[in-house]
Amino acid sequence: MKILIVSYGLNTIGGLQTWQHMFSHELIKRGHNLTIMEMYDYSTLCSEKKFVRIWDDEISIINVNGYIIQRSINPNTTRDALKIMMNITKKIKFSLFLKKEKFDIILFTDPNFTFNFFEKTIKANNCFVQFHSSFERFMSTSKIRYYLVKYKIKSFKKFVLLSEGDVDNAIENGFQPEKLVYVTNFINEKKFNDYRKDYSLNSKTILVVAKLVSNDKQVDHVLKAFSLIDKSISKDWKIRIIGEGKIKIELIDLCIKLGISNNVEFLGKKDNPLSDFFESEFFVLSSSYEGFPLTLLECVFSNLPIIAYECSPSIKTIVKDGLNGLLVDKNDIKSLSEAIATLILMPDKIEIFSKNQEMIKEKFITDNVINRWEALFSEYV
């Protein structure tokens, strides 16, 4: 198949960016002809988000260098989005490009304003939109975008969401069921082959991995929850936090205030933290929202039990409460503390949860997920 992926920020940090790199190379391995159109590079306004990736020479990359449509980075996002919608010249240019290239499939990796450049040709092509955040998050971030996307759904073949729960939420909010499908994220499972879980290792380590650039990951909730546990229970345990960013200083100060500085290690950014996954006892995710966190898939494939806030429908796709981890109501710090204490006091449960990750892995294996994408595309080619 001849495929065009319309995206942004190819060489920046982020779950979407990691996913599209893996996805693109899997398509190339299967013999597809792939072009990526990068609509904008937001690292030009936010240099700390720069992360250079190596792209296969067989992938054709077109850099548009357009307006940055991202509210967290560009304060003029609304104004620039309107400029996109009114730019007739560019719409004609993109229309001619698509007509010439005759792509079998066009995939927009985000319901972003930039697809307004393509509105003249969306109906005439096999166009798909993928959501990399939960549907609830998509609804709440921009009402203008939400209603524009809802209006345009009829022009696309499918909207691809991350979980069955997201599809249900979309239907409840008036999106056409026949236009909706979900495909989970995946992970390169082969990178875990060089590691083995040592069940005799009693590291008494709790792992947290998060970008410390904003409060969205709510790492402070983990620290506050840990501080509520009786010191006689938690005194020998460590929380290891992998990640870097501007709120790190705030979190260090919070540790001092809570009296847990000796129990917390800030390890900074790591290019390859897999050994930490295999050497830890369990992982804690306390985000205010998530899409489909690849970090939790890393836990699954490193047999690391998970405690997680139910902050998106995809979490329940990965974490089966009482099987491979524990689920906690979002923002309930007291219940989070109780869940952490439960695993600290029950090492046998940690080992059971760890071994039960074997039951979860199958549906997130690369080939299985790429097969789903190919089957979806093949319905229209």
pLDDT for 205: 97
The reply to whether 197 and 283 lie within a common domain is yes
Check whether residue 43 and residue 150 sit in a common domain: yes
Q: Which residues contact 198 (CB under 8 A, 6 or more apart)?
A: 278, 279
Tell whether 254 and 143 lie within a shared domain: no
User: How buried is 122 (Cβ within 10 angstroms: 0-12 exposed, 13-18 middle, 19+ buried)?
Assistant: buried
Backbone angles phi, psi at 231, to 5 degrees: -60, -30
The answer on 345 and 220 residing in a single domain is yes
DSSP letter string, 57-108: TTSEEEE-------TTT-TTHHHHHHHHHH-HHHHHHHHHHHHHH--SEEEE
Q: What is the mean pLDDT of residues 181-189?
A: 93
Measured CA to CA in angstroms, residue 147 lies from 6, 26, 118 at distances of 21, 33, 17
Render pLDDT for 127-156 as a digit per residue (tens, 0 to 9). Answer: 999 988 899 988 887 787 788 888 878 889
**Count of the separate structural domains present in the chain:** 2
By mean pLDDT, which of 108-117, 135-144, 256-265, 299-308 is the weakest? 108-117
Give me the phi and psi of 104, to 5 degrees please.
Answer: -70, -40
**Cα separation, 124 vs 129, whole angstroms:** 15
**pLDDT tens readout for residues 355-381:** 999 999 999 999 999 999 999 999 999
Parent domain of 296: 189-363
Q: Mean per-residue pLDDT for 54-69?
A: 82
**pLDDT for position 117:** 67
Does 149 lie in the same domain as 64? Answer: yes
Is 68 a residue whose pLDDT tops 60? no
Residues 167 and 20 in one domain: yes
Query: What pLDDT, on a 0 to 100 scale, did the predictor assign at position 348?
Result: 94
Same domain, 101 and 69: yes
* Same-domain pairing of 87 and 180: yes
Decide which of 111 and 104 is more confident: 104
We report the CATH number of the domain holding residue 223 as 3.40.50.2000
- My answer on whether 114 and 238 are in the same domain is no
Say what percent of the chain tops pLDDT 90. 63
Where residue 12 falls among pLDDT bands split at 50, 70, 90?
Answer: confident
Q: Among residues 303, 309, 262, 258, which one has the least CA distance to residue 280?
A: 303
Calculate mean pLDDT across residues 191-219.
88
**170 and 243 part of one domain:** no
Rounded Cα–Cα distance for residues 204 and 211 (Å): 23
- Rounded to whole angstroms, how far apart are CA atoms 303 and 284? 14
